[in-house]
Structure 1
């Protein structure tokens, strides 16, 4: 395996590692829902999920202060979502539980553990959250704002999410994962301009090779990433499933190999990778609008180290059932 951050990296009592910035917070914007998983053996599980919520959960489990702006109901499913987030130290932005009901996504797994989805979801226009106050009464904008998936395509909320990230660029790094759900979307020709509008506001973009194959049939994923880099983003990462990941920056292209594990299912793998990507850039002190120039100049060695942790986190996630990303001590301790 190339570029993995060593498992012996010393951890401090608060869950961070020596040398990491411990200040600042993340804001994640997007859907939280209940995943109903139909397994090949006929069993059915219901557990909380949603791509942005999974990213927030990953950050919380890695010890990062994180808030989630979302929409779910005060029903039984909603209480399940709330308890799941709270257990991983994800703070809800006030009003996130005001929906009439909690949305669902039904995932059907094939024999390899890969999932196909059907959705029953609504996504209202989000209101930009107030910046939280510290004990001394001061306010600090988040270092990073992440969004993606259904929240960036489904109206009436998608347009509001775009306006929110546009405004947040003045203070925060913007990260975006389209994580597209074709069953909810029109034709790729209609979706491409929406994706590119978000990319134009983003500093970091992560997409899967499956996303790119749907959006740009017969185009090499690295070529797409290079095109997206030209829209103004600083780092584009493409996950390649069992072939690892590739990143494109102004300095060039970096590839990392996957970590080989026995796959239970792939639910949440890309989201845990995304959370680890934000965490790795946080560790490298490359988040916040004031660090935009440094992020644009990121070197290959830093990219390789960050992606190494990302594939490690994703490997742990796929080795167990459901969207169940690891905590920081598990990343450090697990032999893969």
Structure 2
């Protein structure tokens, strides 16, 4: 794939939602949807029209078949995906009255974290203007450090985007804090949510956090602030965009969709493919406003179901 293609590296997760009204006495009814932060981002990018390649270790179990069908059906290219022998990662989610999900994870020994050097060596990004990764696959052993090595290799020709997507129930925030300086060295774009920021740097404002991440090496820092929109900081130049008013069904996949909208717009404007040297404040504001629209459409429907380009 050439032109403005983007490669996404990371996990697929089966999101099993509790369905309180669907169970008979003595049963628990679940509705299983394909998820996982990187996979959600890849789906959203492809649906927006960006040529997208997904590098993941996808199990051969029924959840893995669900992931493959979902990714391919959204237009994601899967030639770099590994068919893994290990089982899929499962997240059990219960939604509160505001649509926020409370997760418990079943992730020990699952496929997503078991990257080997030869697997990633065979899955190098070819011609992509950007490589995006993050979430659990980047922080969990043994695969995380190997993905970092991949990012160091591809930086010569591709913009690197990282979304830490902190999951404190599965990995202690301190593990993210230890790795964050290295991620800032590797990343041209660092995207976090307000929840991520509260876990990583308590009592730190988005502006203070942005400056700290800039000093560590990240040129562009984008912090999404839920209903308050987003703050973007490019080498210290700030851009703020509001969140479009929208009814919220649930917030699952909202941040992943924002990231996809941001990368899609930056690619479409010709800013990806290096160290973001040509990016302007105007181009950044346009990209963030588009990303906010994509995220708004995602929270208006159930699950991580980002919009197609024609729906925008």
Provide TM-score, normalisation by structure 1.
Answer: 0.84
1:128 is aligned to 2:120 = yes
Q: Is the 8 A contact 2:192 2:224 kept in 1?
A: yes
What is the aligned partner in structure 1 of residue 282 from structure 2?
301
- Which of 192, 203, 215 is the aligned partner of 1:230? 215
**2:251 corresponds to which of 244, 258, 266:** 266
> Partners of 1:77 and 1:252 in 2: how far apart?
43
In structure 2, what is the Cα distance between the partners aligned to 1:307 and 1:41?
38
3-state SS in 2 of match to 1:79: helix
Structure 2-normalised TM-score? Answer: 0.91
1:203 aligns with 2:211: no
Aligned residues of 2:53 and 2:80 also touching (Cα < 8 A)? no
Corresponding residue for 1:90?
76
SS of match in other structure, 1:68: strand
Instruction: Give the Cα separation in 1 of the matches to 2:167 and 2:123.
Output: 31
Structure with higher RCO (Cα < 8 A, 6+ apart): 1
Q: 1:191 aligns with which of 149, 164, 176?
A: 176
Unpaired stretches in structure 2, ≥5 consecutive residues: 23-28
1:89 and 1:129 mapped to 2: Cα distance? 24
CA displacement 1:140-162 (0-9 Å, x = unmatched): 42111000000111111111111
C-alpha separation in 2, matches of 1:180 and 1:116: 14
Map residues 142-291 of structure 1 onto 2, 5 A cutoff: 142-186=128-172, 188-250=173-235, 252-289=237-274
Q: Distance in 2 between matches of 1:59 and 1:95?
A: 17
Equivalent residue for 1:11? Answer: none
Task: Give CA deviations for 1:273-329 in whole Å, capped at 9, x if unaligned.
Answer: 01111101101111113xx2xx24522211111110010000000000010001111
1:38 matches 2:23: no
* Number of residue pairs matched by the alignment: 299
**Which deviates more from structure 2 when the two are superposed, residues 219-228 or residues 311-320?**
219-228
Structure 2 residue aligned with 1:110, among 96, 104, 114? Answer: 96
Q: Distance in 2 between matches of 1:275 and 1:243?
A: 19
Q: 1:179 Cα shift?
A: 0.5
Q: Structure 1 unaligned runs (5+)? A: 1-21, 133-138, 332-336
User: Could you tell me how far apart the structure 2 residues matched to 1:79 and 1:72 are?
Assistant: 8
Cα deviation code 1:191-234 (max 9, x no counterpart): 21212211210101100010000111111122111110122222
The secondary structure found in structure 2 opposite 1:107 is strand
Contact 1:35 1:46 in 2 (8 A): yes
What's the counterpart of residue 26 of structure 2? Answer: none
Is contact 1:27-1:146 (8 Å) kept?
yes
Residue aligned with 1:247, SS = strand
